Structure 1
Amino acid sequence: MNAPEPVQQSVVERHDPALWQEGLKTGLPTLFGIAAWGMVVGIAMVKTGLTALQATGMTLLVYAGSAQLAALPLIMAHAPIWVVFATGLVVNLRFVIFSALLGPHFSHLPWKQRLFYGYISGDLTIALFLQRFPTAAPIPGKLSYLQGLMFPNWLSWQAGSLIGIFLGSAVPAAWGLGFAGTLAILCITVPLIVNSAALCGVVVAGAVSVAAYGLPYKLGLLAAVVAGMLAALAAEGLLEKRKGRHG
């Protein structure tokens, strides 16, 4: 007699159109900003000397605006390849934390599916999903809700990025795209500052980035990311200890 399938697998994988639409509605207000941010990155790739084909390949394969922007000046400066990869890796280390938070919800899925959803995941989509489902309880429609967040987010980013790539040569430098990119990053970063630990990390990273601005190969950015992450983790540990004492 065959063993019954795990309850969580049948619950999570069942498609739920209502929750898919709920996920879409939840993420809808962010799509314009995501597309604008993608367009800024697309233009930046072309402006740094990448061909349209190279830039298209980068946006489809990497799909990480902050890592792409961090890597571009290193590529322009002919930095060693290990520096480029190390910078992109450190900038995207936050996704290791995101994966640890998201993993318990979908650990039963085949690894190919988990790899695919890991590829199309974004900061805001994961944050919004965890707000809706803060625990790993087997609630029906979780995967549908996640898809409603992730698929439109990916499409918006790629559409904006491709527009930026193919229109980049026509955009004058006087438009101040660097400042526009900074504003786009701020619009995405501010909603992610959800507690004191995250705020501490942002403040420390900002201070280190300014202090280490003169380092070669833009290594000040790498140092700022590492310092910010360590500060956030330390602050989180202190907050947990305080809660334990007063609990």
Structure 2
Amino acid sequence: MTSLRALLRDPHFRRGARDMLDFAPGIAAWGLVTGVAMAKSGLSIPLAVLMTLTVYAGSAQLASLPLLAAGAPMWVVWAAAFCVNLRFVIFSAQWRVHMGHLSRGRRMAIGYLLADLNLIAFQRAWPGAKREPGQVRYIVGGIVTIWFTWQIPSLFGIFLSEAIPTQWGLGFAGTLAMLGLTYGLLNDRSTWTAAAVAGAAAVATFAMPLKLNIVVAIAAAVAAGLLIEQAERAGQRMKGGA
């Protein structure tokens, strides 16, 4: 209990929690939309609550819901969720510098709770790619803010789904929120190219059944991003050798 009070009073923890408040409106809107979508997709209330608390990945949840509703094979559902979350493999490589010294259990627990926006806020606050004191506490502070900002609206969406008319256009509001969040991730040439490739692939394969065009778009985007990063590294090595 003493250690918890000390953490809550820590300036790095508080700064991390405060910095994530900038993203709270968009996250809350998307969480509400996801909660409503889960409840109206045919999932029971207990199963929807279990999904939001354990899966804790809005994009993977929304990619899985239409497949579950369509009766898609479980391997297709798993493949869609896996492809949607492939970006975290790249993110984990960036986190490694700052959390590689932690025990495996702590890394797994923190990694499970980290979201895309945690990395954006962290890189703004700690622009240097090196480990410094206070970084882990900053990360934990951001995790706490995002977790509550996502889960509370998501649970409201689940339990109040019948009281929220579809005429409100929450789906469109959630789409706008996700577009805003996505724009914040486009900070270099590789991510811009990956976004363009994903959009083109999704449109080109729109006719595929079970919304598999989403899986194709994600795979194409990840491949494009990795190829560009490798090309940039190779160019840097050539310049260094010269």
* TM-score, normalising length: structure 2: 0.90
Q: Which whole-Å CA distance do the structure 2 matches of 1:120 and 1:201 have between them? A: 24
Contact 2:38 2:158 (8 Å CA) reproduced: yes
Q: Which whole-Å CA distance do the structure 1 matches of 2:233 and 2:119 have between them? A: 23
1:41 aligns with one of 34, 39, 58: 34
Partner of 2:156: 163
Q: Which whole-Å CA distance do the structure 1 matches of 2:232 and 2:131 have between them? A: 29
Look up the SS of the partner of 2:71 in the other structure.
coil
Q: 1:138 to 1:191 in 2, by over 3 A?
A: closer
Q: Which whole-Å CA distance do the structure 2 matches of 1:173 and 1:129 have between them? A: 36
Give the CA deviation at 1:135: 4.5
Q: 1:223 to 1:53 in 2, by over 3 A?
A: same
Letter in 1 for 2:159: F
Q: Could you give the per-residue CA deviations for residues 27-53 of structure 1, whole angstroms, max 9, x where no partner exists?
A: 111112211111110001011111111
Partner of 2:86: 93
Partner of 1:188: 181
Give the CA deviation at 1:184: 1.8
Look up the SS of the partner of 1:108 in the other structure.
coil
Give the CA deviation at 1:110: 2.1
Instruction: Flag as ranges the 4+ runs of structure 1 deviating above 6 A.
Output: none
Partner of 1:65: 58
Provide the aligned length of Structure 1 versus Structure 2.
Answer: 234
1:204 aligned onto 2:197: yes
* Paired-residue identity, %: 44
Letter in 2 for 1:51: S
1:22 aligned onto 2:23: no
Contact 2:64 2:81 (8 Å CA) reproduced: yes
Partner of 2:215: 222
1:236 aligned onto 2:229: yes
Contact 2:205 2:213 (8 Å CA) reproduced: yes
1:56 aligned onto 2:49: yes
Deviation larger for 109-118 or 187-196: 109-118
